[in-house]
Amino acid sequence: MAKEKKAGNAAEKRIEGKGSSGSNGEVHAGNGDELHQVSGGSHAMLTTNQGIPISDNQNSLRANTRGPTLLEDFVLREKITHFDHERIPERIVHARGTAVHGYFELTDSLAQYTTAKLLTEVGEKTPVFTRFSTVAGGAGSVDTPRDVRGFAVKFYTKEGNWDLVGNNIPVFFIQDAIKFPDLVHAVKMEPDRGFPQSATAHDTFWDFISLMPESMHMVMWIMSDRTIPRSLRMIEGFGVHSFRLINDAGESTFVKFHWRPKLGLQSTIWDEAVKIAGADPDFHRRDLFEAIEKGNFPEWEFAVQLFTQEQSEKFPFDHLDATKLIPEELVPLKVIGRMVLDRWPDNFFAETEQAAYCPANIVPGIDFSNDPLLQGRLFSYLDTQLLRLGSPNFNQIPVNAPKCPFANLQRDGKMQMMQPKGRVNYEPNSLSQDAPRETPAIGFRSAGVTENGEKGRIRAESFADHYSQARQFYRSQTSHEQAHIASALVFELSKVAHAHVREAMVAHLRHIEEDLAQRVADGLALDTLPNAPAAAAPVQDMAPSPALQIIGKMKNTLEGRAIGILIADGSDGAVIAKLQKAATDAGAKVKIVAPKVGGAKLADGSMLEADGQLAGTPSVMFDAIAVILSAEGATLLAGESAAIEFVQNAFGHLKAIAFDEGGQVLLQKTNIEKDRGVVDAGDPAGFIAAARTRQWEREPSVRMLA
């Protein structure tokens, strides 16, 4: 019987040689025959992880041509086993993440307050790896849900790694880490049904929150536009907790850390965020990738709030309470440096997915406060990484390893990737002069703080005020932002099936602002306002803080923003070119959208290539749009729902729209009337001016707000 021919052309092409390919893709030295011409290119020899050359990567080893596969096929077993283990357990929270390499540069020394070199050596550039994330959803969820965004920075300093692990919101839901499992269980998918994914609009979350008055400040933040950002490049970052800085004299100063985006803050409209999720689930990740690829490196200012124990005792709140912030008007921000993110990871899994952040990773000159939420995090993060990455040696993974020399006497354990030498693996010892030893003069020292009082499970009375800062936050917003908060509460609570939970939340809102409670009650069709619950402490009227706004802080710029121009056959190339130039000169990215991905033939007969096809590139992908059409193109697109929605959504999402004569036909088809944001394409400067912001005065005419 003739032997059957092996399937596939690749199986017939043999690659010979003695080199091997390492796990990082580098070819290890062999006899010089490692690289051979295969199908017109040079390729490394394919081997097993043990360096054994593979002769056939297309067929399993069988007892005969149609027989069972043999257990002795080590090539198959290694390949399948590795595939089976390619995924590690995802993070319980912050699973959906995107990370980038970059550097931190100090511009103003804090030598008066700390010995930490990265905060004292002006001009020093410290490598960083920064990970942004959502909180509630799994790794496969979308980028744009209403959710807190994680903002974690790993500084590879000369004194070891410092992980500043925070969020884009300066406060948190709870005061004590013992409640964190309950919070996450409540916000995650309901256990009996497995949904909703990455959403707070369900019963278990609001049931828990309604029973936790301490969460009311955070509720104002998550219902605000802060949790539906336009871009990861346009979010703030906060260390959340108070930390300590320690100077040469051993004196400590409290500090809070802040990141401020160079591009300023910008958020989406809720309806827009929902539609972006359908159009591009990776919207934020793609936006960050494309910006870095084009050299538009995201940048943040690094600022601190510094205050003493004596100053903190005069605050009308307890700074150790993670549900409180320190208003900038009370303790101004001091900008001391900047962070630039300029390099995308080479491999998403090896770096972004395996990166292990832990707030317990600090360097000499920085120390912890007694914030009970922070104290619990110091344990939780390390414990999580041990489970996720499977070994206490996870710090040896390149993305987690310090870039400065490090040495200790820890040994063995699964996935030990180093080769410790010598007889000694303990300290003190007298058998080795080379073994690492403690260095009291420059080693890490904790702040010399006196603790007294009786131990017990009780919170300080200074943590009892749950509503004052929530009231301050709401009253600090513009009228548009207040309406968005009220509308978000109505939407979320309308998804709650239990009436008593809805009523309990409205009752809490009465302590924050009576008008807010009434607006939400009206939106939920409550006939009467429920009685407010007893407050554990008097609710204070704190002065409004404009720094808490988004709209009031938006920068008048198009840098980092995107403009879409809708064209079709016969469009005027000269008008398109003028708009492109004006937008590009203003710092915006311009994309051409056409009915066909190949582009369109312009009025002068030339072809203009499209960046996106109309049906797959809706206007939610842009900050402003232009509609440049011939009469024939307008007639064609007037019967295309994707074109109608392109214009309707842009108008409904309060974006600037430029149009020519043909474009006006499409606007008329959608019953759009001209306002300050609907501009003739013959006025590029007017269009650019309108595109720098949303047309907030338009909002009452396009949607019902609470």
pLDDT tens for each residue of 656-667: 999 999 999 999
Distance CA 579, CA 683 (A): 9
CA quadruple 308, 240, 549, 587: dihedral sign = positive
Distance CA 502, CA 517 (A): 11
Total residue count of the chain as it appears in this document: 706
Return the pLDDT at 6.
Answer: 38
The residue to which tokens 């009752």 are assigned: 507
Point out the least confidently predicted range of 40-54, 237-251, 388-402, 681-695. Answer: 40-54
Return the pLDDT at 373.
Answer: 95
Using alpha carbons, select from 675, 665, 676 the residue that is nearest to residue 643: 665
Chain centroid to Cα 554, Å, comes to 19
How confident is the prediction for the chain on average, in pLDDT?
92
Contact indicator for 238, 167 with CB cutoff of 8 Å:
yes
Using alpha carbons, select from 398, 424, 400, 399 the residue that is nearest to residue 410: 424
Segment (H or E) for 690 = helix 684-691
Q: Does pLDDT of 26 surpass 60?
A: no
Domains of the chain: 1-86 (4.10.91.20), 97-396 (2.40.180.10), 558-702 (3.40.50.880)
In this predicted model, what pLDDT tens digit does every residue of 195-208 receive, in sequence order?
999 999 999 999 99
| Most confidently predicted of 252-256, 406-410, 443-447 | 252-256
In this predicted model, what pLDDT tens digit does every residue of 277-325 receive, in sequence order?
999 999 999 999 999 999 999 999 999 999 999 999 999 999 999 999 9
- pLDDT bracket for residue 494 (50, 70, 90): very high
Q: Which two tokens stand for residue 108?
A: 């103003």
CA quadruple 573, 576, 582, 583: dihedral sign = negative
Other Cβ atoms less than 10 A from the Cβ of 57: the count is 13
Q: Are strands 27-28 and 20-21 parallel, antiparallel or unpaired?
A: antiparallel
In this predicted model, what pLDDT tens digit does every residue of 400-444 receive, in sequence order?
999 998 888 888 998 898 888 889 988 898 999 888 888 888 889
Instruction: Give mean pLDDT, residues 621-631.
Output: 97
Instruction: Give mean pLDDT, residues 246-256.
Output: 96
Segment (H or E) for 474 = helix 468-476
Distance CA 186, CA 180 (A): 10
Side-chain half-sphere exposure of 409, counting CA atoms within 13 A: 14
Give the phi and the psi of residue 590 in degrees, each rounded to 5.
Answer: -115, 130
Q: Which two tokens stand for residue 13?
A: 């092409």
The verdict on whether omega for the bond into residue 595 sits within 30 degrees of 0, i.e. cis, is no
Q: Is 55 helix (H, G, I), strand (E, B) or coil?
A: coil
Contact indicator for 147, 126 with CB cutoff of 8 Å:
no
Q: Does pLDDT of 459 surpass 70?
A: yes
Distance CA 245, CA 231 (A): 32
In this predicted model, what pLDDT tens digit does every residue of 155-180 receive, in sequence order?
999 999 999 999 999 999 999 999 99
Return the pLDDT at 41.
Answer: 57
The verdict on whether omega for the bond into residue 398 sits within 30 degrees of 0, i.e. cis, is no
Burial 666-698 (b: 16+ CB within 10 A, else e): bbebbebeeeebbbebeebebbbbbbbbbbeeb
In this predicted model, what pLDDT tens digit does every residue of 571-584 receive, in sequence order?
999 999 999 999 99
Give the catalytic positions in this structure: 94, 167
Distance CA 186, CA 190 (A): 7
Partners of 340 in the beta sheet? Answer: 103, 299
Residue 506 burial (10 A CB sphere; 0-12, 13-18, 19+): buried
Helices (runs of H) and strands (runs of E) counted in the chain: 18, 22
Return the pLDDT at 33.
Answer: 38
Partners of 368 in the beta sheet? Answer: 243
| Cα radius of gyration (the chain) | 29
Distance CA 642, CA 595 (A): 9
- pLDDT bracket for residue 49 (50, 70, 90): confident
- pLDDT bracket for residue 45 (50, 70, 90): confident
In this predicted model, what pLDDT tens digit does every residue of 540-590 receive, in sequence order?
999 999 999 999 999 999 999 999 999 999 999 999 999 999 999 999 999
Helix axes 661-669, 641-652, angle to 10 degrees: 90
Q: Which two tokens stand for residue 167?
A: 């969020």
Residues 6+ apart with CB under 8 A from 522: 706
Residues 6+ apart with CB under 8 A from 200: 136, 146, 147, 187, 206, 222, 492
pTM to 2 decimal places: 0.90
- Greatest Cα pair distance, the chain, in angstroms, is 95
Q: Does pLDDT of 31 surpass 50?
A: no
Contact indicator for 42, 27 with CB cutoff of 8 Å:
no
CA distances from 120 to 105, 123, 248, 365, 440 (A): 11, 9, 12, 10, 20
